[in-house]
Chains A and B, each alone.
Chain A
Amino acid sequence: MAMKTFPVEASHILMFARSVGDDNAVYADADYAAKTEAGSIIAPPTFAQASAQFDPDYVLRPRPGKPWFGSGKNPSGIVRGEGGGGGGGNGGGLHAEQHFEYHRHLKPGDVLTATSLPGKTWEKEGRRSGKLIFSESVTEYRDQNGELVITARGVGVRTERPVDQKQEA
């Protein structure tokens, strides 16, 4: 995560909680939240993922003057050569796993910095999508006092072809 700082703000927490369908007032109402055990508005458990907003070079956000692989006049804004098919090939991979460890919960006013540590990479033959290449990354989020607040570990996967949709219950 190449972000400089991640300022945690109440309006962003409100919008994030809405987007995951969580209407708990502890994410939206400062007066209510002050009377709860949390003591103030806090962020929902997966909020650290929104640090992408503060990465100036985040590849999954269109940026002015840069090519974007989503559709416009054509189905993709980027012309690719052979072999570009597949969920992994065109979408920057799929998210396979995500883990969070909370040393404390985030609240408005926190200003986070992140340190990314490279993780392992491994391969597996998938039944539904051909060869799978997994890669792991660990991100440590620290607050304005240098205290570790959240440790996040993500695993991404690139697939050889789109995931077959025959589902087995």
Chain B
Amino acid sequence: MALKASDLKVGDTHSARLVEDLKRTQIVQYAGSSGDYNPLHTDEVFTTQVAGYPSVFAHGMLTMGMTGKMLTDYVGDARLTKYGVRFTSQVWPGDTLDSTATVKAVGDKDGGKIVELDVKTVNQNGVEVLNGYAEARVDP
């Protein structure tokens, strides 16, 4: 289901809950699929006793990956042309994340229509953990 430029207005939003009570096992799952086995994400002993953090925490790229689902569910499969983020706070086991895409502009590019989106993901305390942007091809 692709978006239509004619239906989109600046300020339109799409939101989705990405995860509720993030589990350590999902972080392990992401370590395995991505190949990033940094112990900061999976090894509580190392992370608390050596690195000095209160617990393991999620890969930024796991948050970006989960936020990507919100985006592709909104714009459709194979429609993204750009997606970039800053990781602004860490994500911890037990966190619940909600993400929102907001239409920033609808325009023309390479003979077609595109939508530019602001992207933001927050935790259960309203703290922003990720902010960024995306661009996607849309139907006229």
Across the interface, do B125 and A167 meet the contact criterion of CB distance under 8 Å?
yes
Across the interface, do B80 and A70 meet the contact criterion of CB distance under 8 Å?
no
Per-residue interface assignment for chain B, residues 106 to 136, with 1 indicating a CB less than 8 Å from any chain A CB and 0 otherwise: 0000000000000000000111000000000
Across the interface, do A71 and B35 meet the contact criterion of CB distance under 8 Å?
no
Which residues of chain A come closer than 8 Å to B85, judged between CB atoms?
A: 97-99
Across the interface, do A101 and B82 meet the contact criterion of CB distance under 8 Å?
yes
Across the interface, do A97 and B77 meet the contact criterion of CB distance under 8 Å?
no
Across the interface, do B52 and A19 meet the contact criterion of CB distance under 8 Å?
no
Residue of A nearest to B61 (CB): A49
The smallest beta-carbon distance between A89 and chain B, in angstroms, is: 8
Per-residue interface assignment for chain A, residues 58 to 96, with 1 indicating a CB less than 8 Å from any chain B CB and 0 otherwise: 101110000001110001100000000111001110111
Across the interface, do A95 and B60 meet the contact criterion of CB distance under 8 Å?
yes
Among A20, A36, A71, point to the contact of B66 (Cβ < 8 A). A20
Per-residue interface assignment for chain A, residues 25 to 65, with 1 indicating a CB less than 8 Å from any chain B CB and 0 otherwise: 01000000000111000101110011011010010111000
Across the interface, do A99 and B84 meet the contact criterion of CB distance under 8 Å?
yes
Q: Is B5 located at the chain interface by the 8 A CB criterion?
A: no
Which residues of chain B come closer than 8 Å to A46, judged between CB atoms?
A: 61, 64-65, 68, 83
Known contacts A44-B65, A162-B52, A163-B90; A60 and B78 CB within 8 A of each other: no
Which residues of chain A come closer than 8 Å to B40, judged between CB atoms?
A: 87, 90-91
Known contacts A44-B72, A70-B39, A165-B54; A97 and B66 CB within 8 A of each other: no
The smallest beta-carbon distance between A120 and chain B, in angstroms, is: 15
Q: Is A131 located at the chain interface by the 8 A CB criterion?
A: no
Residue of B nearest to A84 (CB): B50
The smallest beta-carbon distance between A15 and chain B, in angstroms, is: 5
Across the interface, do B52 and A161 meet the contact criterion of CB distance under 8 Å?
yes
Q: Is B45 located at the chain interface by the 8 A CB criterion?
A: yes
**Complex Cα–Cα for A105 and B84 (A):** 15
Across the interface, do B46 and A19 meet the contact criterion of CB distance under 8 Å?
no
Across the interface, do B51 and A90 meet the contact criterion of CB distance under 8 Å?
yes
Within 8 A of A (CB), among B30-81: 30, 32-40, 42-43, 45-46, 49-54, 59-62, 64-66, 68-69, 71-73, 76-81
Which residues of chain A come closer than 8 Å to B36, judged between CB atoms?
A: 49, 52, 60-61
Query: A: which residues have CB within 8 A of B?
Result: 12, 15-16, 18-22, 24, 26, 36-38, 42, 44-46, 49-50, 52-53, 55, 58, 60-62, 69-71, 75-76, 85-87, 90-92, 94-102, 105, 153, 161-163, 165, 167-169
The 7 A-B pairs with the shortest beta carbon distances in the complex, nearest first, are A99-B84, A20-B65, A70-B39, A53-B35, A52-B35, A71-B45, A75-B49
8 A-B interface contacts by CB (under 8 A): A15-B33, A19-B65, A50-B35, A90-B40, A96-B87, A100-B82, A102-B80, A153-B84
